[in-house]
Every structure is written in structure tokens, then in C-alpha cells.
Structure 1
Amino acid sequence: MPDRQLTIRAILTGIVLGALLTPCNIYSGLKIGWSFNVSIIALLIATGLWALMDRLRIGAPLGVGEANIAQTTASSSANIISGGLVAPIPALAMLTGSNLPTLQLLAWVFAVSFLGIWVAWYLRDSLILRSGLPFPTGRATAETLLELFDKGREATLKLRVLLASTMLAGGLKWLDTGWLPLPRPSLGFSLPAAGKLAGFGSVTAKNLSFTLDPSLMLAGFGAIIGFRAGISLLLGGIFSWGVLGPVGLYQGFVTPGEADPDAVWFAAMIEWLLWPGVALMVGAALTKFAIHVYRSRRGQVEQACSKEPGYTTWLRLSGLILASAFVVLAQLSFFGIHWVLAALAVPIAFVLAMVASRVVGETGIPPIGAIGKVSQLSTGVMAPGEMTANLIGANVAGGAAGQSADLLNDFKAGQAIGAPPRFQVVAQVFGVFTGSVVGSLVYLSLIPDPASMLITEQWPAPAVATWKVVAETLSEGLSSVPLSALWAVAIGALAGILVTVIEQRRGARWLPSMPAFGLAMVIPASLSITMFFGSLVAKLLERWRPTLAQRFLIAAASGLIAGESLTGVARALLGIIE
């Protein structure tokens, strides 16, 4: 491998790409609670950009090691949403009535993400070298990296597809939010009113959020998550908003919105529907990683040992201690949390990050939501009634787990080309700093008033809703939760557990994805429908044009997500300026 890896241009390339892609994840996280891994898209853009500069004779193409450093920096920046910007931080702002000051928010997001870097380096030997975990995302990044330097023309074609889809989605979003708003027709059914809804005459499809949303970003997400997740979203949306919601409206335990056939009742109905939705997701996620941990312990295989220089052991331990102290001091100074709770948040975060990283290593899916809920429950037991400590302690665990998983995926990709881990750690630090600055500024610009803007049709913010409700419940006690919601939680959790156990024993072919099914219960049905259509188009393309799908599907879908996200952020910022 070439010596040129941790170069200034590689770091700067990653910083620029991270700054451009981070707003995409902030935007999509506040819209649907999901984000996307930018490693592959960053590789395509970075290598394509420097290849173009080489053709124009104003620069040299990136080496394979430099490309790895650039994508490590960019991915860690875009992954900054795991630091809390689309979940616990907005939830806390809704409860307190205001956002954190800019510098405090920036420092806090950096602190929890910085801790995850050192947790990942500490876990690298056991999870990358000795356990033999596949880390699917890291492996896919490694294969793309090697392919790019073996097939230069293929990389150029993928980059062109990515840029074309970015421009298409961006242009459509610009028209939709500016000169030519696109129609969002209702699906056209209505249900007769009964009981407490007698004054409404009927409940329309639009009341229940059954509309067609012309969002190419959502279609891109559907293409990436696959047909099983897409159809699970559709089924979950039909069940929750088309069956369970109307039953709740008629029985009186679900609250309707304003008496208008064109009004969307998402904000009112979600207050009850999120209970079974969250329970389903948490039950499934916790069961899945418990099964994975059990299986990995039974079948763990000892493999290679680290060949890093001897001083790295001291460096890793020092970095972990420094990052832990930073997080504790930030809790004390920014939020006034008791020092015992602040100190306990760190070991809890380390254990949960280790569990989450192992799950990511086997499945590729980071269970950040479930990790946060476990931490919230832990804090709720130790300090009942402390909503700030509850959310912030869980934020530490989620932030550390998210960045740890991201860096371990990068370690897996770097292992394929022999990249020194310490170089990737440096790149990750630059990326986390970039993401903290850009992500915090974008979030504050998009959501200046969380209490009135979030958990609405425009910004559903499902992750914010779930973290907020759990914190409120644990502060007031279970007695404040309606009996119908408690039954829904019990049934939802049990369903998530049972289906996940059956899935692990019998296979997943004919079973819905419980995380996707549960997510459909906490986002408008219109979003689930559009993502389903995206997954359907991808499935048909894979069936009838498998080679074309294998070559260009991910690049095209990533471009749709990036184009609409960036344009949505730009339009929102222009609206604030105007």
C-alpha cells in the first residue's frame, strides 16, 4: 500500500464532503427518523473529483489510502446525528422550551461523539480482529474502495448517475417548495363517524395522513432499505393509521384533530399511536441484539492480534480517559446534572456502545434507539423525576454507540487495504468536529422553535417524539399513562419479541420487519407509502435488470436522498433569511 494516506488534501476533502452531506442526515432525521451511511457516496465523489482535477491537470488523483481517509472523515461528520441532534436534544428543548446556546450545543455534540471514537478504538481488537464479525457496511465500503481503483471508468459512470439523480431530486424539491408546489392528493376514502366523532361527519383519508407524497428522497430511502422493509412500512402504515387509529378514534382513546376534512391529524393521533410503535421497535431491537450477543459468545473465534505500535495501547487508554472526563464535565457545566449520575453515564454508555457495536458487526444496523431507551430506563430507576438527566444520560450512550459503530465500519474497510487505525482515528476526530459545527448550526437554523415546529406534519421527528414521551413517563410514573396505552405497550413489545425470535429461528422470508413496521406507526402514512413505492421500483429493477441494479441502484438512490435533503435545507435557510 502507498505511504500517502493521512494527507492534508484527504482530510480537507473529507471535511468538505462531510459539511455538504451532514445537513442531509439532519434533514432526513427530523423528517422520518432515519439517516443514511455516506461512506460510499463520499468515496464516489472524492475519487471522481480528484480524477477530474487530474484530467484538467490541476491536481493528482487520490490514492487508495487517501480515499479511505476522506470517506472516514466524511462519514463521521454525517453520522453526527447520533450525537443527539434529531432525538434527545430536540426532545429536551421541547420540554424546557428552548434550544441550547450554540456553543454549548456544539461542544456537547462533539463531547459525546468524541467518546465514541475512543470506545471504537478500544474495541477494535476484539470486534474486528478476533471475533471475525462481518460488519456488512464496512465490507461494502471496502469492496467499493477496491473496485474504484480497479475500474476507473465504472467509478466515473456511477458518479454521473449520482450527480444526475441529485440534480433531479433537488430540482423537484425546489419547485415543490417554491414556484410550483406539487399536489398531494388524498387516497380518496372516508370512514363514517361514530361515538365522540359524531360532530365530524366522517373521517377522511387525509385526516389519517393517507396522501401521496411526491418525495424522491423517501423513494430513495425505500430503494436502499429493500423490499421487505418497504412492504413492512406499508403494512404498518395501513394497520396503524387505517385500522388501529380509527378504532381508537371511535372508542375515544385516540384524540382527533380539528374538524376539517383537509386537516391531517398526525400531531394529535401520534400521542397515543407512538406507544405501541415504540414498544414494538424496542422489543424487537433488544431481542435481536440479545440473541446476537448470545450466539456470538457461543461461537466466538479467536483470530489475529493487533500489529499496531506498542505505544497505541497507552494512547487508546489515555484518549478514553480524556473523552470520559470531557463528557462528565460537560454534563456538570451545561446541564447541572449531579456528579454521580454524570459519572455513571460513562460506564453505562461504554457497555451499551459495546453491545450496539457487536450488533452492527453482525447485522449492519445500529440499534441506537433501543440503546437510548435502555439508558433512559437505567437513569429512570436511579433518578426518577429527573427528565434532563434521563435524556442527557441516554444521549451519552446513543452518541458513543453511534460514532463507535461508524468508526468500526471504517476500521473494517481500512483493514482491507492495510490502513493504520491511528490514521483513521485522526480522520474521525476531524469529521466529528466538522459534523458538530455544521450539524448544530443546521439544526438551530431549521428548528429555532422546537416546541411549535416538531412532531408536526412538516417535521414529524419520530425519534424526538419517542424520547420525549419516555422521559415524561419516567418522570411522572406509569400512573400517568392511560390504561389503553399500557395495554398497547405490552402487546406491542410482546409482538416485537415473538416475531424477532421466530425470525431468528425460522428465517425472515415471510415475516415483516418489526423495526420498519413499528416505525410506520410513528410517521405519517404518506411517508410509508412513498418509501414502499421506492422499494418496489428497486425490487422490480433487481428482478428484471439485475446487472444494472447492482451497478447503479445505490448511487442513484443516494443522489435522490442528497439532492432533496440539500435543497430542503437550502429552502428552509432562505425562508429564515427572507
Structure 2
Amino acid sequence: MAGIHDSSTAGSSAKADAVPSQRGMTPRELAPRELTPRALATGLILGALLAPCNVYSGLKIGWAFNMSITALLLAFAFWAPVTRLLRRPAWGMLESNINQTTASAAAAITSSGLVAPIPALAAMTGENLPWLPLIVWVFSVSFLGVWIGWFLRPRMIEQSDLVFPAGMAAAQTMRDMFAHADEAMSRVKVLMSSLVGAVLFNVLDKLVWQIPRVGPSLTASKLTFVFDPSLLLLGFGGIIGLRAGLGLLIGALLAWGLIGPALIDHGIVQVSASQVSWFEPLVGWLLWPGVAVMVAASLTSFAASLFAASKHGRHGRAGRQRSSTGRLQIAGFTAAAALAIVLQVILFDVHWTMALASIPVAFVLATVAARVVGETSVAPIGAIGKVSQLTFGVMAPGQPITNLMTANVAGGSAGQSADLLNDFRAGHEVGAHPTRQVVAQCAGVVVGSIVSSLVYLMLIPDPATQLFTPEWPAPAVAVWKAVAEALSDGLGGIAPSALWAMAVGGVLGVVLALLERRLDPKRLVFVPSGAALGLAFVIPASTSLMLFAGAGLAAIAHKSAPRWATRFLLSVAAGLVAGESLFGVASVWF
């Protein structure tokens, strides 16, 4: 196939893209295409389409999906035949990397706080930020994360032994696409079939079938044990794996099957027989032990990963060339930091000293988070968010809005930078120019901020009545709001029974995290994930059950058809998530 070639080896001289003859051409013309208008435009379009998926799923279940591989496959599927048909220069690997970098930056915009501290603030005040301040705020947090990530790149990518598994997976996907185009097209067909199928299922469910959400009994239905035919949840279940699925199942049975009924029987939580669902009154109590399990497990795992990374990653790779910090990095970081500080003061009346303090805290947390992401591929967004909230809770006690928004800057930009370091790793592996990736990231952040902010306002126009309901459980929002209120009002406002449950949950979270580090990986699947178990306390049981079903089906597929599962399962899951998310966003207009 003309024009499809492998330019993946870093530092090697790449061939020109689909050039019939190289005779008489300049070095610039012979250089592989990278930051081309079509690569940037493709990434922006895909980012604008995929970002709403993460907003939707973040408000539903508190998780987001890495869109890099999805963007790689979709762009390749479009440009590979189009360039041949129109006899244009072939879609090159470095262009593919710019595309995934741009789309990833746009889709990862939820790290900036759009599905956690920002709606938590709205839940406390009763109203959302207007659309323009919200867009500018989301952009400022993510923009700061881009520049922090660029500062960390030489140390984390070029001079260390950190792998960044998600970035390496994206790089390997690029190599495979250009080496085995037919396989890539097969994966795209499966992804698109899954996406279209999810959309059609939801259209039929809403307009024709109207599948009833019923449980085995009236009481079980009120306790949220109902059948929820969500293909998004099945897809996410296939992505998170069996261990997390089991943790959700155990947590749902414990929280909504045992503790919830006991709270009602003992009069600790008052419910009415006329209520359709008891989710809202029960989750006000259950979120405290759930938060304790999640925070304790996350922070313990975070500390253990940091200790392991510092123990094994002190020495850089021999022979790596050290990169110097240029004027552009300094100017960009200074502008981003200034914007974040000014907006904190203007929009949220944060004292300038607290706003200023959020910048070095962000840098420290980003360094730590990058170590964890580089080692495990898991961005500890929840953990660094709690660390930042606790830090500013000590610095500015009794100020919940200051706590939320300074922690939003510190934790959000740290999470964003750690996430974008995966893009830098993928680019480094295929010989990309880092400055061009930064341009792509900045463009992606602009589009992602606009699209995601407008989608959020469209989905949650009335946060006071919509959040923390069975339709929009918003578990990450509940955690941020609970921590801010606890640090503001002290623990006196929490029921004594919930305080005891928090203590038990905290101990359980620590134990589960330590077992995770100690046990053999083969046995680990039977030990519930602390983060997943705690999450089940703050989302309806129906959500946890469907996530477990997806994880179970994925495990069966890996066991019975391992070759098919390795090739196509991620594509199927990504299509289900994207299809239902896009339908959910679009249905608001109709």
C-alpha cells in the first residue's frame, strides 16, 4: 500500500510520506509530516466528539476513559483510504501521534475538576458558574497542567526508567497500525459496530421498548437493586477488569443489601414508603464510610507506589540526553500560573496568598502523581485531590470554597499533567518533537474546555436537584463535597454512627491497599479493590451490578476466546461507552 510505512524508531531518519520521487527535494520536504493541519484538525474533531463521553461517564460513575487508542484507530480508518483515493500524502505515524495527543488532551479535560470539585461547588452554592467563566476556569487548570507536564518531561521521560504503560500502549498501537493495516481496520470496524449498536439500543429502549427498571421486589427496587440495561456500564465493566467488578459487587451487597436496611430498621435514616427510591436519604449516610474506604485505600496505595518509585527509580537511564528548559517553557508556565491565580481571586474570592500557594502545591503533587502513573498507568486523581484538599484545609480552615477551588487548581493540574505525560511517552517512542506535542495539547485543551463545559451545563442545569440522585449519582462530586464540608465544619455535623463507620472504612481501606501490594497477582483478583468497594457505597446498586456483569463477561471472553478478546474486546467496550455517552448527551436536546 503506497504511503503506509513505519517511522516508529526514535532518532531514525524517516522516509517521506507517499512521495513518488525524492530526487531534487529539499530536506524540509523529505522530513516526515507531523504537526500538519489535517493531523491537528482530526485530533480536535475527535477530541470534541469524545470529551462529552468522559463528562457523561464521570457524572454517572466517577470514572473516565483514556481516548488515545480510540482516536488513533478512528483517524487511521479515515485517512488511510482517503489519502490513497485522493492521491494525497499518506497519513504518517507522527501525524497519528499529533492526532492522539490532541484528542487525548481534549478528552482528558475532566481531570480539571469538571466532574468533581466544580459541581461540588455548584451543589454547595445551588448554582453553576456561567458558561464563559466556567470555560475559562476549566481551561486555566488544564493549561497549567500542560506546562507542568512539559517541565517534568525531561526528568520523567528522558532521564528515568518510568514506563508509562498507557503511553507505551499507544505507541505500540501506532506501530501495529502502520505495520498491519488490515488488523487496525478490523478493530475499527468492531469499534464502530459496537458504537452504532449502543446508539440503536438506546434509541429503541427510549422510544419503543421502554425496558422497565424493576427489581426482584418493591423493597429491593427502593434500595436500588433494579435491572438497569446500560451498555455503557457493561462496556466500562469490561475495561475495569474482574477485580474491580468484584469489589463493586461486594460493596453494593454490603452497602445497599445489609447496611442500608439496617439503618432504616434502627431509625438512623428516615425513609417514606411513598418514595420511589431510598437512594437519596441513604447515600447521605453511606457516603461517609464509602469516602473513608476510597480515601484511605487511595492514599495508602499512593504512598506505597511513591515509596517503590523512589526506591527503584532514583537513577536515570545512562546515555540519555538531558533537555534544557527554554524560554518558551518559562513564559508558558508563568502565564498559566498567573491566569490560575487571578481567576481564583476574581471568580471565587480566594485570598491571593492561598491562590499563590496552589501553584507550588500543584507542582509537587504533579511530580508525585507522574511517578505513580509512570509505574502503574493509574492516574491517582482521587488521591491527589484529597491530598490537596487536606493541605488547604490546614492552610485555610473553615473556608470550604477556598478549599475546593485551590485544591481544584493543585489536584486538577497535577492530574492533567500526569495524564499528558503518557502522550509524551508515546511521542518519545515514535520520535516525535515534544514542542509540537505541546502545541497539540494546548489546542486540545482549548476545544475540550469549550465542549466539555457546555456539555456539563447542558446535562446538569440545576445541580441542587439533579446531583446525588439515581440518574446522576456523581460519586466523585460527593467525595469532594463531603471532604470540603468536613474540613470546614468539623466532624460535629456527621452522625456519630457514621463517624464510627468512617473509622471502620478507613481501616478497611488501608488493609485492602496493603494486601494489594503484598499478595501474588494471581490471588489478588479475589481481594476487592478498596476504591471500587468504596465507590459502590455512593452509586446505586444497579450501577455496580451492571459494571460487575461487564467485568464478568470480559473475563469469560478472555478465558474462552483469548485471541479474539486480545484483539477486539477493548474496541467493543470503547464503542459501547462512546455510543451510550453520545446518545445520552444528544438526548438532552430532544
Does 1:376 pair with 2:389? yes
Does 1:571 pair with 2:584? no
* Structure 1 residue 141, shift from structure 2 partner: 0.9
User: Aligned runs of 1:217-296 on 2, under 5 Å?
Assistant: 217-256=232-271, 258-260=272-274, 263-296=276-309
Does 1:544 pair with 2:560? yes
The amino acid that maps onto 1:125 is: P
2:420 is matched with 407
Distance in 2, matches of 1:135 and 1:253, equals: 47
2:173 is matched with 144
Q: Which moved more, 1:218-227 or 1:45-54?
A: 45-54
Q: Which moved more, 1:46-55 or 1:488-497?
A: 46-55
- For normalisation by structure 1, the TM-score amounts to 0.94
* Structure 1 residue 138, shift from structure 2 partner: 0.9
Distance in 1, matches of 2:88 and 2:280, equals: 52
Distance in 2, matches of 1:403 and 1:364, equals: 13
* Structure 1 residue 146, shift from structure 2 partner: 0.7
* Structure 1 residue 531, shift from structure 2 partner: 0.8
Does 1:559 pair with 2:575? yes
CA contact (8 A) 1:115 1:320 kept: yes
* Deviation sequence 1:166-209 (CA, Å, 0-9, x none): 01111111223334322222033x7xxxxxxxxxxxxx101110
Q: Secondary structure at the match of 2:326?
A: helix
User: CA 1:348/1:253 → structure 2, altered by over 3 Å: closer, same or farther?
Assistant: farther
Does 1:502 pair with 2:535? no
User: Aligned runs of 1:169-180 on 2, under 5 Å?
Assistant: 169-180=198-209
CA contact (8 A) 1:213 1:527 kept: yes
Q: Secondary structure at the match of 1:303?
A: coil
Does 1:302 pair with 2:316? yes
Distance in 2, matches of 1:408 and 1:313, equals: 18
* Structure 1 residue 82, shift from structure 2 partner: 1.0
* Structure 1 residue 309, shift from structure 2 partner: 6.8
Q: Secondary structure at the match of 2:250?
A: helix
Out of 334, 342, 348, the position equivalent to 1:335 is 348
2:130 is matched with 101
Does 1:157 pair with 2:186? yes
Q: Secondary structure at the match of 1:263?
A: coil
1:196 is matched with none
The amino acid that maps onto 2:164 is: F
The amino acid that maps onto 1:380 is: G
Distance in 2, matches of 1:476 and 1:368, equals: 24
User: CA 1:176/1:130 → structure 2, altered by over 3 Å: closer, same or farther?
Assistant: same
1:16 is matched with 45
* Structure 1 residue 489, shift from structure 2 partner: 1.4
- For normalisation by structure 2, the TM-score amounts to 0.92
User: CA 1:255/1:384 → structure 2, altered by over 3 Å: closer, same or farther?
Assistant: farther
Out of 529, 535, 539, the position equivalent to 2:551 is 535
Distance in 2, matches of 1:126 and 1:411, equals: 12
The alignment-based identity, stated in percent, is 52
Distance in 2, matches of 1:377 and 1:184, equals: 40
User: Aligned runs of 1:74-223 on 2, under 5 Å?
Assistant: 74-188=103-217, 204-223=219-238
Q: Secondary structure at the match of 1:573?
A: coil
* Structure 1 residue 32, shift from structure 2 partner: 0.8
Distance in 2, matches of 1:295 and 1:568, equals: 41
* Structure 1 residue 307, shift from structure 2 partner: 4.3
Distance in 2, matches of 1:343 and 1:333, equals: 13
* Deviation sequence 1:108-150 (CA, Å, 0-9, x none): 0000101111111111122222221121111111111110101
CA contact (8 A) 2:43 2:98 kept: yes
Q: Which runs of 4+ in 1 moved over 4 A?
A: 304-310
* Deviation sequence 1:431-474 (CA, Å, 0-9, x none): 00010000011111111111011111111111111111221222
The amino acid that maps onto 1:335 is: F
Out of 362, 365, 368, the position equivalent to 1:352 is 365
Give aligned pairs, total. 557
The root-mean-square deviation of aligned C-alpha atoms, in Å, is: 1.6
CA contact (8 A) 2:512 2:527 kept: yes
CA contact (8 A) 1:279 1:492 kept: yes
Q: Secondary structure at the match of 1:418?
A: coil
Q: Which moved more, 1:126-135 or 1:32-41?
A: 126-135
Does 1:512 pair with 2:528? yes
Distance in 2, matches of 1:130 and 1:293, equals: 17
User: Aligned runs of 1:20-99 on 2, under 5 Å?
Assistant: 20-57=49-86, 59-99=88-128
Distance in 2, matches of 1:17 and 1:150, equals: 23
2:10 is matched with none
Q: Secondary structure at the match of 2:222?
A: coil
1:472 is matched with 485
* Deviation sequence 1:74-124 (CA, Å, 0-9, x none): 011011011111111111112112111111100000001011111111111
Distance in 2, matches of 1:573 and 1:390, equals: 35
* Structure 1 residue 490, shift from structure 2 partner: 1.3
CA contact (8 A) 2:48 2:451 kept: yes
Distance in 2, matches of 1:208 and 1:56, equals: 57
User: CA 1:541/1:476 → structure 2, altered by over 3 Å: closer, same or farther?
Assistant: same
Distance in 1, matches of 2:525 and 2:453, equals: 40
Q: Secondary structure at the match of 1:206?
A: helix
User: CA 1:121/1:305 → structure 2, altered by over 3 Å: closer, same or farther?
Assistant: farther
CA contact (8 A) 1:76 1:428 kept: yes
Distance in 2, matches of 1:409 and 1:525, equals: 33
Q: Give 5+ residue unaligned stretches, structure 2.
A: 1-6, 8-13, 15-31
Distance in 1, matches of 2:333 and 2:318, equals: 23
CA contact (8 A) 1:53 1:60 kept: no
Out of 415, 437, 445, the position equivalent to 2:458 is 445
* Structure 1 residue 299, shift from structure 2 partner: 1.7
Does 1:522 pair with 2:538? yes
User: CA 1:63/1:171 → structure 2, altered by over 3 Å: closer, same or farther?
Assistant: same
2:21 is matched with none
The amino acid that maps onto 1:253 is: I
The amino acid that maps onto 2:532 is: A
The amino acid that maps onto 2:119 is: P
The amino acid that maps onto 2:514 is: V
* Structure 1 residue 245, shift from structure 2 partner: 1.4
Distance in 2, matches of 1:524 and 1:502, equals: 27
Q: Secondary structure at the match of 1:205?
A: helix
User: CA 1:177/1:237 → structure 2, altered by over 3 Å: closer, same or farther?
Assistant: same
